[in-house]
Structure 1
Amino acid sequence: MSPTSPLLSRHGAVPDGRADAGIAAHYGDPAREQRALERGRAVVDQGNRGVVTVSGPDRLSWLHTLSSQQLTDLPAGVTTETLLLSVQGRIEFDLLVTDDGERTWLLTDVGQHEDLARWLDSMRFMLRVEVADVTGDWAAIGAAVDPEDAPAPLREASVRFADPWPRLGPGGFAYTVGEDHPAATWRWSVFLVPRTDLERTVDALGEVGIGLAGNGAAEALRIAAWRPRYAHDVDEKTIPHELDLLRTGVHLAKGCYKGQETIARVHNLGHPPRRLVFLHLDGSEHTLPAAGSEVRTGDRAVGRVTSVAQHGEMGPIALAVIKRSVDPAADLVVVDGESRYAAAQEVIVAPDAGQVVGRPAGLLNTRRG
Structure 2
Amino acid sequence: MSEEGTNTQVEGFEVRQRYFEDLTEACEAAREGCALFEMPWRSHVIATGPHARRFVHNMTTCQIKELKPGEGRFGMSVDSGGKLVADFFVEAEEDRLVLESSCSGADAIVAHLKSYIIADRVNLERETTGVVLALTGAASQQVVEHTFEGAPLPHEAYAWCSGTIAGHGVRLRNNPHRLGVPGWDLTVPAEHLTEVRDALLNVGATRVGHEAFEICRVLAGVPRVPDDMGLSNVPLESDSLAETIDWDKGCYIGQEVIAMMHYRGRPNRHLRGLAFGGDTPEPGATISTDEGREVGTVGTVINSPASLTSVTLTPDQPTGLSTLTCLAEGFSDADGDDPSHVLLVRPGSLYGCPPRVCTRMS
Task: Determine the C-alpha separation between the residues in 2 that align with 1:293 and 1:195.
Answer: 38
**Judging changes above 3 Å, is the alpha-carbon distance between structure 1 residues 292 and 21 closer, same or farther for their aligned structure 2 residues?**
farther
Residues 60, 252 of structure 2: 8 Å contact kept: yes
Q: 1:112-123 maps to which residues of 2 (within 5 A)? A: 112-121=105-114, 123=116
Question: Amino acid of the residue matched to residue 15 of structure 2?
Answer: I
- Among candidates 343, 347, 350, match of residue 318 of structure 1: 343
SS in 2 for 1:296: strand
Contact 1:26 1:217 in 2 (8 A): yes
State the one-letter code of the partner of 2:280. L
Identify the match of residue 258 of structure 2 among 237, 254, 263: 263
Contact 1:76 1:101 in 2 (8 A): yes
2:125 aligns with 132
Quote the Cα distance in structure 2 between the aligned partners of 1:189 and 1:330.
Answer: 37
Residue-by-residue CA offset, 1:242-290 (whole Å, 9 max, x unaligned): 11256343222322211112112222234424211122222xx3x5333
Whether the 8 Å contact between 2:299 and 2:345 is mirrored in structure 1 is yes
Task: Quote how far apart the aligned CAs of 1:73 are.
Answer: 1.2
Which residue of 200, 215, 219 maps to 1:224?
219
DSSP-derived class of the 1:233 partner: coil
SS at match of 1:196: helix
TM-aligned CA deviation for residue 140 of structure 1: 0.7
Q: How does 1:309-348 map to 2 (within 5 A)?
A: 309-312=302-305, 313-314=308-309, 315-322=340-347, 323-333=350-360, 335=361
Contact 1:85 1:92 in 2 (8 A): yes
Q: How does 1:105-184 map to 2 (within 5 A)?
A: 105-121=98-114, 123-135=116-128, 137-145=129-137, 148-151=141-144, 152-153=146-147, 156=164, 158-163=170-175, 165=177, 183=180
Q: Which residue of 2 aligns with 1:54?
A: 47
2:303 counterpart of 1:291: no
- Shift of residue 220 of structure 1? 1.1
**Counterparts of 2:208 and 2:282, CA distance in 1:** 22
SS in structure 2 opposite 1:275?
coil
Q: Which residue of 1 aligns with 2:21?
A: 29
Q: State the SS of the aligned residue for 1:230.
A: coil
Partners of 1:329 and 1:243 lie apart in 2 by: 18
Structure 1 residue aligned with 2:65 = 72
Distance in structure 2 (CA, Å) of the matches to 1:68 and 1:304:
26
Deviations 1:309-362 (A, max 9, x none): 2334225322213422323332334x37xxxxxxxxxxxxxxxxxxxxxxxxxx
Q: Which ranges of structure 1 fall in alignment gaps of 5 or more residues?
A: 1-9, 167-181, 337-369
Number of paired residues? 305
Displacement after TM superposition at 1:235 (Å): 3.0
Secondary structure at 1:263 match in 2:
helix
Distance in 2 (CA, whole Å) between partners of 1:43 and 1:121 is 34
Opposite residue 162 of structure 1, the aligned amino acid is N
The TM-score with structure 2 as length reference comes to 0.74
The residue aligned with 1:244 is 239
Structure 2 residue identity aligned to 1:78:
E
Q: CA deviation at 1:127?
A: 4.2
Residue matched to 2:295: 302
Offset, 1:162 = 3.1
Change over 3 Å in CA distance of 1:116–1:329 after alignment to 2: closer
The CA deviation string for residues 89-127 of structure 1, in whole angstroms up to 9 with x for no partner, is 101121111224343211112422234234445555554
- Is the deviation greater in 303-312 or in 11-20? 11-20
| Separation (CA, whole Å) in 2 of partners of 1:27 and 1:93 | 30
Q: Which amino acid aligns with 2:105?
A: Q
SS at the partner of 1:232?
Answer: coil
Output the CA distance in 2 between the equivalents of 1:246 and 1:211.
28
Identical pairs, percent: 22
Q: Aligned runs of 1:173-212 on 2, under 5 Å?
A: 183=180, 186-212=181-207
CA RMSD of aligned residues (A): 2.9
Q: In 2, distance between residues paired with 1:188 and 1:111?
A: 23
Aligned mates of 2:344, 2:59 — CA distance in 1: 29
Cα gap change, 1:235 to 1:242, in 2 (>3 Å): same
Q: Is the 8 A contact 1:19 1:110 kept in 2?
A: yes
- Aligned mates of 2:29, 2:12 — CA distance in 1: 21
**Consecutive unaligned residues in structure 2, runs of 5 or more:** 150-163, 310-339
Partner AA of 1:259 in structure 2 = G
Q: Equivalent residue for 1:83?
A: 76
Contact 2:222 2:240 in 1 (8 A): no
- Aligned partner of 2:7 in structure 1 is 15
- State the Cα distance separating 1:76 from its structure 2 match: 2.9
Secondary structure at the counterpart of residue 111 of structure 1: helix
